[in-house]
Amino acid sequence: MTLAKPTLLVSRRQTLRVLGAFAMTGAVAACAGRPDDVAKSETDPAVAPVEAPSPATIARYQAIQDHGYTIQAVNPGYLTGSNARALVYYNGSEQPGHIVIDPYARRLYLVLENGMAIRYGCAVGKQGKTFSGDGVIERKVQWPSWRPTQNMIETEPEKYGDYADGVEGGPENPLGARALYLYRNGRDTYYRIHGTNNPSTIGRATSAGCIRLFDQDIIDLYNRVPRGTQVHVRTPDESAMMIGPLRPGFDGYVTPVNDPDQKVTGPLADQILDNSETATDVAVASATQALSAQQPQLTPAATGQPKKVY
């Protein structure tokens, strides 16, 4: 079965939908976007056949009610490749409960016990590649609000003037349903992991923003990680070591030449993916232990050498 990615039309009413990723009120524009930054990614002029997502995957992205808001179902055309949440074998040195972001392969990993991780597809803006190394999640916000900085308003009043009073949290807010804020040495890095009101961007590079996930996925991740969670953002060299060389795909996607991520499927995998328990939860650990006997011998894709510890 094949599935073609859908085509969407852009209208003036979608301005907020294409703002990208933003910082909270008073923050610098490290996670800010422009109304036209991702408009091109809302249309899909190139239609290519792709493998259809499984029924279990589609079920994870149905419409949901959250704090009085409706989060729309994700079109299955956006759930292909590595975009959808998946359980994978993981060959990293990070401890269970840590988050690893690969902004070059556009993947985020929540490390579990027994050599596994939950992988989430993400969209990455330019600011998503300006930070690397380690950080800590110090703030977690549900349905975050956003206001452009004064400098943004003064520099581009035609684009940001209408939002000078801020945008309340809700389905039209570019930060989506949740936001996780990274700090380093007690200071805000202005690097965010958050949702999106434009699911067509997931898996793509955009001209602005940090790290955005489907709203269904940022809610899942938000529920799994507490404040104090350690986050590592890979450098280009680390990405090349762990994922290997990347090749451009259609419509701005990238795919590894030899993808090292091997999915784990079946009832136990679904149990882990469908229940937003913490990475070190006893039930999650028990399920990964039962699955670990199936784990193949993994080596990083690019070199076949043991992973560099960072």
pLDDT digits (tens, 9 = 90+) for 35-81: 334 433 333 433 445 678 999 999 999 999 999 999 999 999 999 99
Q: Which of 98, 122, 210, 232 is catalytic?
A: 210
Is the separation of the CB atoms in 219 and 177 below 8 Å?
yes
Please write the tens of the pLDDT for every residue from 205-224.
875 668 999 999 999 999 99
Q: Of 104-108, 118-122, 145-149, 218-222, where does mean pLDDT reach its minimum?
A: 145-149
- What is d(CA 131, CA 123) in angstroms, rounded to the nearest whole number? 15
pLDDT digits (tens, 9 = 90+) for 221-234: 999 999 999 999 99
pLDDT digits over 266-307, tens only?
999 999 999 888 888 998 999 999 998 776 665 555 444 444
Hey, which bits of 143-186 come out as E strands? 178-184
β-pair partners for 110: 99, 118
Neighbours of 231 (CB within 10 A): 25
Q: Of the ranges 139-143, 189-193, 305-309, which is most confident? A: 139-143
Torsion-angle region of 57 (φ positive above 0: left; ψ -120 to 50: alpha; else: beta):
alpha
Active site residue 31: no
Active site residue 210: yes
Task: Name the active-site residue from 31, 122, 194, 232.
Answer: 194
| pLDDT, the chain, mean | 82
Q: Given this model, what pLDDT does residue 301 score?
A: 53
Sorted by where each starts, the structural domains of the chain and their CATH numbers stand as 2-292 (2.40.440.10)
How wide is the angle at C-alpha 15 spanned by C-alphas 8 and 126, nearest 5°?
90
Take residue 186 and report the two structure tokens written for it. Answer: 């007690």
User: Mind listing the pLDDT tens digit for each residue in 151-180?
Assistant: 778 888 988 888 888 889 999 888 999 999
